[in-house]
A and B are shown apart, each in its own frame.
Chain A
Amino acid sequence: MWDQITALFTVGLFQNTIRNATPVVLAAMGGLFTEHAGIMNIGMDGMILIGAFVAVVFSFLFASAPMGVLFAVIIGIAIGLFFALFVVKLKADEFVIGTTVNIFAGGVTVYLLRSVFHQVGTWVSKDIKGLAPIDIPILKDIPVIGEVLSGYSLFVYLSWVFVILVWIFLYRTPYGFWIRAAGEHPSALETAGIDPVRMKFLASVLCGIFCGLAGAHLSLGYLNCFTEGMSASRGFIAFACVVFGMANPPKVFGAALLFGFLQALGLRLQSVGVPSDLTAAVPYLTTVLMLVYITVSANTKKRNRAKKEMKAEEAETAELAEPSA
């Protein structure tokens, strides 16, 4: 039994943790912005999927991975604008528009894949250039740590930097304060002379960019291919991480790592004989559990606080009654 457990914790497990977490981290950094700006963005999954597809297409056309990434970002901006146009400007229901983006993304990628590129299911080609892995000098030579932390595509490292940059942006620049104010009390921002609609547009576009990057990483980061529906609900998981991490970048990053770890663990469990059908469900189960945890813990916290206060109150009254004796 012990052997089986130790067998789970290999270098590969941690490598997979980081690989799985990265697209979620990227998308969640985008989701942070819309969350702070007061937009319920459930369209991230579609944004990622389109980003992944566009990255592959332009990497193929130009035989260049950076071009793929560039166009994934451009299409991310476009979807972000589209989303904001309907949700913020035209005040359509954010659930409807988010769902629309998801369904549209699933349909249009499959349609274009089959009709233009004549591929079904998965599109692999030697002309799809991926992002080269980066070895970090010195670090790569340290045993174990080197293996775990070195040798990923640029995006993995970028995602770590983004966590810090996003935090600085939100909490140390005026724009960050404006985006947060736009979500919390739009008319306060408006009367101060700044248009909250523009801030919400900004948040939506930033979300589009990050989801585009997440998609590009998914398709060009290690496998260099596009598979129908390859976003595999990562947008929703990213959304859950945003909620779980209370839209605070480092906490959201932690939540994404936890998710990545559990997914990797699920994979490893297969090697010790747990059926793959079960292990594949781990990340989604985790998402559900995370959300249940948030709700339940918030409620118990409330209950406990009330109980404690009531006890203190009673003790106080008892004390007041006693000295007379």
Chain B
Amino acid sequence: MQETIVRFENVSMQFPGVLANDNVSFDIKKGEVFALVGENGAGKSTLMNILYGINTPTSGEVYIRGERMVKHTPAESIEHGIGMVHQHFMLVPSFTVAQNIVLSREPRKNKIFYDLKAAEKATLDLVENYGLVVDPKAIVEEISVGLQQRVEILKTLYKGADILILDEPTAVLTPQETEELFEVIRRIVREKDMTVIIITHKLNEVMAISDRVGVMRHGKLVGVEETKNVNEKILSSMMVGRDVLFDNMDKTGTPGDVLIEAKNLYAVDNRGLLAVKGLDFQIRAGEILGVAAIEGNGQSELLEAITGLRKIEDGEVLVQGTVINGMNPGQVRKLGLAHIPEDRIATGIAPPSSVKDNLIIGKERDSQFAKWGMQLKKSTIARYAKELSEKFDVRGAGIETPVGSLSGGNMQKVVVAREFSFDTPVLIIAQPTRGVDIGAIEFIHRNIIEKRNAGCAILLVSADLDEIFRLSDRIITMYEGKITGEFKEGEIDKMGISYYMTGDRSEVGGEQ
């Protein structure tokens, strides 16, 4: 019998208006990989923030190695050997790897001065000890996301952590990087006797890495199981509280005319570096083109270039046969294009404004909603917003509620509802279900397929390969701003595609 290292006893956490954790009790054993799964807003992250000392529970007790923690701070958690790798990396971009690893516990010379050499030495020692290879002198903002995550793990190890919390660690990784991460987890558990808690909502990963799994729903712990005794179907029904169907969608119809086209498209990123390098593609009516790429390979700039948000440096983009170069986003939209942006909070919605206001953005001057294009028809707008939010199943809010206070999934439904209601023939959809729970994913996917079957040309960019595979008729892979591969539905599998997402394979001539 393994000893208990972390224990939650009747932990509840009440936020204003939300009971984030409801009487949660369970143990985590030393030397195990414990997966915590649940939909967004199920209370996984809150529970881990309580363990790490960022939040103080309203009631209940937390024990680390048998010691009761009372209103502990992150600094005290670190003392007790807890390390947390957050979903959004906590790294200072302009510092080097070594400087980030030793941050707050810098080695010193003469008690005052920062010993930069010793910091690099300490990093190299960790690299040797744990086999996680990084370059101590590299600047963090210049290394890949996978390496940045490695730096995060090393940071906790430098502080002597032996209980590692990983908050959705694979969200930004490629399948190959994920496999590498899992190797690292297995090794540190086996060789260094560490305990790993991994928060995720990818069930295949739970099956691949964990010894035991805890499922949360609406703040409650639904159950803790030995991983070998469950499968993905059982876990997903535990998470959602009902059976979820993950079949492929019914696609009907045949592709029609080309509605959007890019010819030798070039665009630069915010630093002025070339991010999109000579892209060519066409999308026909009734077709979904999926773009599979790891973040930062030009897909964001591509989206902005074809929606008029970013200058087209060279080449051209045609929407329904009209060249859009030099047009502003409003003009591009008038040609019959709607856009679900990748970052819903920054560009998709106006967080402090109401659901109602957000639903009519872009239509506020239409004669339907405004007299003389000036005076808003309040009751018409309210009726319209109510209908639309019911149709798109926006929950947990009235039409007057500020959108920013909704959950990620409902926020996204507002964006989808608005953009789909333009009834445009061309749809540009980016990360439609990022950070959205399973129920809402299902709903949004169904709507996208409906649009496709109705004859829209859809460009879909997503970091979620499951989503790409489920929805796309064709898939192109992008790497460093170029198209590295193009595949029809069913021509390639997920592992295969990651090969094309991680490098330009044209010169190798197919297989390695």
Residues of A within 8 A of B (CB): 168, 172-174, 176-178, 180-181, 184-185, 187-194, 301-303, 305-306, 309-310, 313, 317
Contacts and interface: CB of A to CB of B under 8 A. Distances in A.
Given A188-B103, A306-B313, A310-B274, A173 B92 contact: no
A301 B272 contact: yes
Q: Which among B89, B93, B272 has the greatest number of chain A C-beta atoms within 10 A?
A: B272
Interface string B389-409: 000000000000000000000
Contacts of A174: 106, 108, 114
Interface of B: 73-75, 78, 84, 86, 88-95, 99-100, 103-106, 108, 112-114, 116, 155, 266, 268, 271-274, 277-278, 313-314
Contact of A185 (B90, B99, B113): B90
A180 B92 contact: yes
A192 B272 contact: no
A317 B507 CA distance: 12
B274 A185 contact: no
B268 A302 contact: yes
Contacts of B268: 302, 306
A305 B268 CA distance: 10
Given A173-B113, A310-B314, A193 B75 contact: yes
A301 B270 CA distance: 12
Contact of B91 (A178, A185, A194, A317): A185
Given A181-B95, A306-B272, A313-B274, A193 B104 contact: yes
Q: Which among A181, A191, A301 has the greatest number of chain B C-beta atoms within 10 A?
A: A191
A301 B273 CA distance: 10
Nearest to B52: A191
A180 B75 CA distance: 20
A310 B116 CA distance: 38
Contact of A191 (B90, B112, B277): B90
A193 B86 CA distance: 14
A310 B275 CA distance: 10
A66 to B, nearest CB: 27
Nearest to B79: A193
A91 to B, nearest CB: 16
A188 B91 contact: yes
17 contacts: A172-B114, A177-B99, A180-B92, A180-B94, A181-B92, A181-B95, A184-B92, A185-B90, A187-B88, A188-B100, A190-B74, A193-B78, A194-B104, A305-B273, A306-B272, A310-B274, A313-B278
Contact of A189 (B73, B103, B274): B103
Contacts of A184: 92-94
- A-B CB proximity, top 10 nearest: A302-B272, A192-B104, A193-B75, A188-B90, A174-B106, A309-B274, A306-B268, A191-B90, A192-B103, A181-B92
Contact of B274 (A172, A193, A194, A306): A306
Given A184-B92, A191-B86, A303-B272, A172 B113 contact: yes
Contact of B104 (A180, A189, A303): A189
Contacts of A180: 92, 94-95
B45 to A, nearest CB: 14
Given A177-B99, A303-B272, A187 B90 contact: yes
A188 B151 CA distance: 13
Given A177-B95, A181-B95, 20 more contacts: A172-B114, A172-B116, A173-B112, A174-B114, A176-B114, A177-B99, A177-B114, A189-B103, A190-B74, A191-B74, A192-B103, A192-B105, A193-B73, A193-B78, A302-B268, A302-B271, A306-B274, A310-B266, A310-B314, A317-B278
A173 B84 contact: no
A281 B383 CA distance: 60
A309 B278 CA distance: 12
B114 A305 contact: no
B276 to A, nearest CB: 11
Contacts of A302: 268, 271-272
B38 to A, nearest CB: 23
Contacts of A168: 113
Contacts of B92: 180-181, 184-185, 188-189
B163 to A, nearest CB: 15
Q: Which among B88, B92, B95 has the greatest number of chain A C-beta atoms within 10 A?
A: B92
Contacts of B74: 190-191, 193
A194 B89 CA distance: 16
Contact of A181 (B86, B103, B271, B274): B103
A310 to B, nearest CB: 6
A191 B88 CA distance: 12
A209 to B, nearest CB: 19
A211 to B, nearest CB: 25
Nearest to A303: B272
Contacts of A185: 90-93
Contacts of A178: 103-104
A278 B89 CA distance: 53
Contacts of B277: 313
A321 to B, nearest CB: 13
A97 B420 CA distance: 44
Contacts of B75: 193
Contacts of A309: 273-274
A89 to B, nearest CB: 18
A184 B103 CA distance: 13
Contacts of A173: 112-114
Contacts of B108: 174
A167 B104 CA distance: 20
Contacts of A306: 268, 272-274, 313
